[in-house]
A and B are shown apart, each in its own frame.
Chain A
Amino acid sequence: MAKDPLSEAGLHFDELNKLRILEPDVGQKTTELKEECKDFVDKIGQFQKIVGGLIEMVDELAKEAEKEKMKAIGARNLLKSVAKQREAQQQQLQALIAEKKMQLERYRIEYEALSKVEAEQNEFIDQFILQK
C-alpha cells in the first residue's frame, strides 16, 4: 500500500470520507471501548441497586430477628417470673393454709372440750335418773 502523505501527516479518511485525526481502527476501537464502558457502568449501577436492595432487606430481616429475639427473651423472662410469682403465691397460700390449720386445730380442741362437757352432762343426767 502506498504511503499516504496524509496519513503521514496524521490525518485519515474514514469510510464516510470524513477527515479524522485518529486512525479509523483505533477510532472504532475507542468507540467500542466507550460503548463497552458504558455498558459496564450501567451494569455496575444495576448491580449496586440490587445489592442495596438486598442489604436493606437483610437489615430489615436483622431488625425483625432482633425484635423476635427480644420478644423471646421477654417471654422467657416472663415465664420465669410467672414461675416465681406462682412460687410467691404458693408461699402466700401456704401461709394462709397454715393459719387456717391453726384455726382448725383450735376448733378441734374446742370441739373436744365441748364433747367432753356433753359426755359429763349426759353422765350426770343418767346418774340423776338412776338415783331418783
Chain B
Amino acid sequence: MRFKTSLLKEPKHTELVSCVGWTTADELYSCSEDHQILKWNLLTNETVVVVKLQDDIYPIDLHWFPKTVGGKKQAAAEIFALTSTDGKFHLVSKMGRIEKSVEAHRGAVLAGRWNYDGTALITAGEDGQIKIWSKSGMLRSTLAQQGSPVYSVAWGPDSDRILYTFGRQLIIKPLQPSSKVLQWKAHDGIILKVDWNSMNDLILSGGEDCKYKVWDSYGRLLYSSSSNDYPITSVAWAPDGEVFAMGSFNTLRLCDKTGWSYALEKPNTGSVFSLAWSADGTQLAGACGNGQVIFAHIVEQRWEWRNFEVTLTKRRAMQVRNVLNDAVDILDFRDRVIKASLAHGHLVVATSLQCSVYSTKNWNTPLIFDLREGTVSLILQAERHFLLVDGGGIYVYSYEGRLVSTPKFPGMRTDILNAQSVSLSNDTIAIRDKTDEKVVCLFDAQTGKAFGDGKPLTHKMEVMEIALDQCGPSSDRKIALIDKNRDLYLTSVRRLGREHSMHKIGTMVHTMAWNDSANILCGIQDNQFAVWYYPSAVCVDKDLLPKTLFTKDGSEFSRTPHILNYVGTQVTVRRADGSLVYSSVSSYPTLLHEYTGSARWEDALRLCRFAKDQTLWACLAGMALANRELTTAEVAYAAIREVDKVQYINFIKELPSKESSLAHMLLFSGHVQEAEATLLQAGLIYQAIQIHINLYNWDRALELAVKHKTHVDTVLAHRQRFLQDFGKKETNKRFLQYSEGVEVDWEKIQAKIEMELAKERERAANPSVRSSMASHR
C-alpha cells in the first residue's frame, strides 16, 4: 500500500499554502499567504481563483462545515470557517464571500474546527484561549485559558470532549464543566498538530521533536515513531480510521492505525503544513510550504483470500491473481474504488456510485447495483450475504444484489461503526451500541428486526469487540465478545425467555476471530496463541472447556498483534510492526465439526481414534453431549479419563424415562433450574426433590416437598442423615418446624421411593415403546 502523489510543475500560489479542505471528493479549496483562495477541480484539472482576500488577512486554518446535519444530508458543504493571523475567524461561503468575520482571539487564531454535526465551532488562539462558538458565530464559552499558544485542537468522537495542545502536553477536556480533565506529557518538543478519529477513537499527535505518536483516548501510548529528520508539521486520520497520513519537510508518509509506516514519499514540497482527506477517504491533499498543493491517493492495497490475491493497481482498476495457476484478471471500474472486501468466495467492491460483486469463480461478469449513498465506510461478508455501512444506514445485500434487510435502532450512528463494533453471520447481525458501549443489539439478518422482544444483549462492562460464529444452525448462534477488561465472553444469541448467560472463556484476550468454515474461535490470550476448538463446550460442560483449548507460544507475534482472519486452517496475524505472520491450526477440529454437524458419530469417533489427541476427544465429548449422543459421549469421556462423568452418563443411560434422562443431562451441564422444571413438567416430583437432595440443596427440596405435599419425610430423613454424618445440629428453622410433625421411617421411605421409580418406569414404558419403534424405522 502506498501513496501515488501528483504535484504541478509550477506552484499556483506565490506564497506558502497554509490550509486545504475538500468539498467533495473531487473539489478542493486551498488558502495561501498570497491572500488567494483557489479551487481545484480534479475531474477537469482546472484551478480557479475563488477570491482574493484583503491584504491584511493571512489565513491559517480552514474547516468546511460538516455535511451531515442531524441525519439530513446536504449535497455538498456550503460554508467554511477560515481563521487568520489578525485574531479573527471568518465564515466564508462556497463562492468566496466572507459572510461574517468575528474577532475571536488576541494574536493569531491557530485552529478552528466544527464538531461532527456542525452545531459548534471551536477556535484556539495564540493567546492560549479556547473558545466555543455557535454555528452563526456567537461566542458560547471560553473553555480553557492557558499561558502558551494552542497550536491544534480536535473534537472527540461524540463531540463531547476536545483535545488540544499545551506546549509539550496534550489535554483532553470534556465540555461538561465538572468532568475530569486528562493531561499528559506527550512529546519532547512543542506539539504542532493533533487529530482524533471517530471510528477507532485513537489520537494522533506530531511535534517539533520530529516524532509522531498514536494514543488511545485514555492517554495511553500505543505507538511512537522513531525520530524523523524534520519536525512533524501535520497529521491527519483517514475517515475510516484504518490509516493516517503524516507530513513534514519534503515528506509525506502513509501509516497504519497501529503506527507502522506503509510507505514514505519524498516530494519536493517544502514543509507540509496541513493535510486533508476527502470524505470518502480516497484522496489526500497537502498544503505545502513552497506554494504547491500536493494530491495523493492510495494504490497497491491488497486483499487475499485462499488462493486469490487482489491488488488495487490504479484508482479505478484492480488486478486479480490466482496463485494456483498464475491467471491474472484485470477489473475496471467506472469510478474510484472506495472500499473492497474479499471473503467467502466473493469480492465486493464499492465505488463512489456503484457496488460490484464478483464471484471468485467468474471474474468477467460482476453483478453491479447502484448505491444509495456515495461513501461506504465498511463492508462485512458472511457466507450468504454481505453488509454495507454508509453514512445513512446499514444494508444487508445478498450476493445476487438483492437488498435483504436494513437493521435500525434508535440513536444509531453509522458513521462510527467499524469492524470491531459490527459483526455479521448468515442469520444474525450484531452491533455494539455507541451511546451505551455495554449494549450489543442483535438483529435477524433476513428481516432486519431485533431478536426476541427487542431487548439487546447487555454486558456488565464496556464491550470492545464482538464477533458472531459463522456456521451451524441459527438456533445455536453464539456471539463472542471482548470487554474493557480484555475478558472474552461467549453467549448464545437466542435466549429462551431468560437473561443472556454470559460464559467467560478467556482473560487478557487482545484479539479474536471465528473460523469461516467451523465454529472454532482463535485469539491471542496474554502471550499465547489460543484456539478454542469447541467454545460451546462451556454451555454443556464447563470443565471441558480448558481441555478443548489449544494453546501455543505466541512470541512470534510479538507485542499487540491483531488477528486479521481465520480462513480454513490458516490464521493471519498482523504484528505491531506491520508484518503478516501466518499460523496453521490442525484441520482435525474442522473435520470433527463437520462430522458432528451432520450427525456422523461413527466417523467422528474414528477421526478421534486416528488423531489420538486429547483436545479432540474433549471436543467430541462436548459435541456429543450437546447433541445428547450418550454412547459417543461415554467413549469420549472415557478417552479423556473423566471416570466420574462416564459413570454419570451410564447412570443417565439407565434412567427409566426420557424426561428424567433429559433432566439429568441438563444437570450434567449444570442447569439445575431447567432440570427441575423438566421433571416437574413431567410430573416427576420425587425425582425433582431427589436432585435437590443430591445437590444438598435442602431448602429447595423441602420447599418442593411441602408444596406438592409429598416426600417431606424423605427430605427430612436425608437431612438427618447428612447432619449425623457431619456431626452437626439442625439450625434451619424450617426443618425444625417440619421435623416436629413428621416421623422418619427409613423403611417406609425406601418403599415410597421404590414405588415412585416403578411408577415412572411403567409410565415411560408405553410411550418409549412407540418412540423406540420410531427410531428403529
Interface residues of A in 97-125 (CB under 8 A from B): 99, 102, 105-107, 109-110, 113-114, 116-117, 120-121, 124
A95–B581 Cα distance when bound, in Å, is 25
Q: Does A96 contact B (CB under 8 A)?
A: yes
Which chain B residue lies CB-closest to A128?
A: B610
Which of A92, A113, A124 has the most CB atoms of chain B within a 10 A radius of its CB?
Answer: A113
Partner of B570 from the list A99, A105, A106, A117 (CB cut-off 8 Å) is A117
Contact present for B264 and A109 (CB under 8 Å): no
Partner of A113 from the list B251, B261, B580, B610 (CB cut-off 8 Å) is B580
Contact present for A106 and B266 (CB under 8 Å): no
Q: List residues of chain A with CB within 8 A of the CB of B743.
A: none
Which chain A residue lies CB-closest to B558?
A: A109
A107–B580 Cα distance when bound, in Å, is 8
Contact present for B579 and A99 (CB under 8 Å): no
Contact present for B579 and A117 (CB under 8 Å): no
Q: Does A48 contact B (CB under 8 A)?
A: no
Contact present for A95 and B264 (CB under 8 Å): yes
Q: List residues of chain B with CB within 8 A of the CB of A110.
A: 579-582
Contact present for A107 and B250 (CB under 8 Å): no
Contact present for A92 and B582 (CB under 8 Å): no
Q: List residues of chain B with CB within 8 A of the CB of A120.
A: 584
Q: Does B556 contact A (CB under 8 A)?
A: yes
Q: List residues of chain B with CB within 8 A of the CB of A131.
A: 610
Given A106-B577, A109-B575, A99 and B582 touching (CB < 8 A)?
A: no
Q: Does B583 contact A (CB under 8 A)?
A: yes
Contact present for B579 and A121 (CB under 8 Å): no
A120–B583 Cα distance when bound, in Å, is 10
Which chain A residue lies CB-closest to B228?
A: A95
| Number of chain B interface residues as a range | 20 to 34
Q: Does A30 contact B (CB under 8 A)?
A: no
Q: Does A91 contact B (CB under 8 A)?
A: yes
| Number of chain A interface residues as a range | 20 to 34
A113–B555 Cα distance when bound, in Å, is 12
Which chain A residue lies CB-closest to B226?
A: A98
- Shortest Cβ distance from A113 into chain B, in angstroms? 4
Q: List residues of chain B with CB within 8 A of the CB of A121.
A: 584
Q: List residues of chain A with CB within 8 A of the CB of B570.
A: 117
A113–B570 Cα distance when bound, in Å, is 11
Which chain B residue lies CB-closest to A99?
A: B264
A91–B507 Cα distance when bound, in Å, is 46
Contact present for B229 and A109 (CB under 8 Å): no
Contact present for A113 and B581 (CB under 8 Å): yes
Which chain A residue lies CB-closest to B612?
A: A131
Given A91-B229, A95-B264, A105 and B250 touching (CB < 8 A)?
A: no
Interface string of B344-377 (1 = CB under 8 A from A): 0000000000000000000000000000000000
Q: List residues of chain B with CB within 8 A of the CB of A88.
A: 250
A88–B583 Cα distance when bound, in Å, is 43
A106–B580 Cα distance when bound, in Å, is 7
Partner of A109 from the list B250, B261, B579 (CB cut-off 8 Å) is B579
Which chain B residue lies CB-closest to A91?
A: B229
Which of B250, B266, B586 has the most CB atoms of chain A within a 10 A radius of its CB?
Answer: B266
Contact present for B556 and A113 (CB under 8 Å): yes
Q: List residues of chain A with CB within 8 A of the CB of B582.
A: 110, 113-114, 116-117
Contact present for B580 and A96 (CB under 8 Å): no
Contact present for B583 and A99 (CB under 8 Å): no
Contact present for B266 and A95 (CB under 8 Å): yes
A92–B264 Cα distance when bound, in Å, is 10
Partner of B264 from the list A91, A96, A106 (CB cut-off 8 Å) is A96
Q: Does B578 contact A (CB under 8 A)?
A: yes
Q: List residues of chain B with CB within 8 A of the CB of A91.
A: 229
A29–B90 Cα distance when bound, in Å, is 99
Q: List residues of chain B with CB within 8 A of the CB of A116.
A: 582
A124–B250 Cα distance when bound, in Å, is 52
Which chain B residue lies CB-closest to A88?
A: B250
Interface string of B581-602 (1 = CB under 8 A from A): 1111010000000000000000
Contact present for B250 and A92 (CB under 8 Å): yes
- Shortest Cβ distance from A96 into chain B, in angstroms? 6
Partner of A107 from the list B263, B579, B584, B610 (CB cut-off 8 Å) is B579
Q: List residues of chain A with CB within 8 A of the CB of B264.
A: 95-96, 99
Q: List residues of chain A with CB within 8 A of the CB of B577.
A: 102, 105-106, 109
Q: List residues of chain B with CB within 8 A of the CB of A96.
A: 264, 266
A53–B586 Cα distance when bound, in Å, is 103
Interface string of B232-275 (1 = CB under 8 A from A): 00000000000000000011000000001101101000000000
Which chain B residue lies CB-closest to A92?
A: B266
- Shortest Cβ distance from A65 into chain B, in angstroms? 37
A109–B250 Cα distance when bound, in Å, is 30
A116–B555 Cα distance when bound, in Å, is 14
A49–B369 Cα distance when bound, in Å, is 96
A131–B577 Cα distance when bound, in Å, is 40
Which chain A residue lies CB-closest to B571?
A: A117
Interface string of A47-85 (1 = CB under 8 A from B): 000000000000000000000000000000000000000
Contact present for B261 and A117 (CB under 8 Å): no
Given A91-B229, A113-B556, A99 and B581 touching (CB < 8 A)?
A: no
Which chain A residue lies CB-closest to B575?
A: A109
A117–B573 Cα distance when bound, in Å, is 13
Contact present for A117 and B583 (CB under 8 Å): yes
Contact present for A95 and B251 (CB under 8 Å): yes
Contact present for A102 and B583 (CB under 8 Å): no
Contact present for B579 and A106 (CB under 8 Å): yes
Q: List residues of chain A with CB within 8 A of the CB of B263.
A: 99
Interface residues of A in 25-43 (CB under 8 A from B): none
- Shortest Cβ distance from B324 into chain A, in angstroms? 15
Interface string of B549-569 (1 = CB under 8 A from A): 000000010000000000000
Q: List residues of chain B with CB within 8 A of the CB of A92.
A: 250, 266
- Shortest Cβ distance from B757 into chain A, in angstroms? 48
A96–B263 Cα distance when bound, in Å, is 9
A110–B263 Cα distance when bound, in Å, is 18
A95–B575 Cα distance when bound, in Å, is 22
Given A91-B229, A109-B581, A113-B582, A102 and B575 touching (CB < 8 A)?
A: no
Partner of B578 from the list A95, A106, A113 (CB cut-off 8 Å) is A106
A117–B577 Cα distance when bound, in Å, is 20
Q: List residues of chain A with CB within 8 A of the CB of B261.
A: 99, 102
Which of B251, B579, B580 has the most CB atoms of chain A within a 10 A radius of its CB?
Answer: B579
Known pairs A106-B578, A109-B575 / 14 extra A-B pairs, C-beta < 8 Å: A92-B250, A95-B264, A95-B266, A96-B264, A96-B266, A99-B263, A102-B261, A109-B579, A110-B580, A110-B582, A113-B556, A113-B580, A113-B582, A117-B582
Pairs A–B under 8 Å by Cβ, sample size 25: A88-B250, A92-B250, A96-B264, A99-B261, A99-B263, A102-B260, A102-B261, A102-B577, A102-B578, A106-B578, A106-B579, A107-B579, A109-B575, A109-B577, A109-B580, A110-B579, A110-B580, A110-B581, A110-B582, A113-B556, A113-B580, A113-B583, A114-B582, A117-B583, A117-B584
Chain B residues close to A by CB (< 8 Å)? 229, 250-251, 260-261, 263-264, 266, 556, 570, 575, 577-584, 586, 610
Which 6 A-B pairs have CB atoms at the shortest separation, nearest pair first? Answer: A106-B579, A109-B579, A92-B266, A99-B264, A113-B581, A113-B582
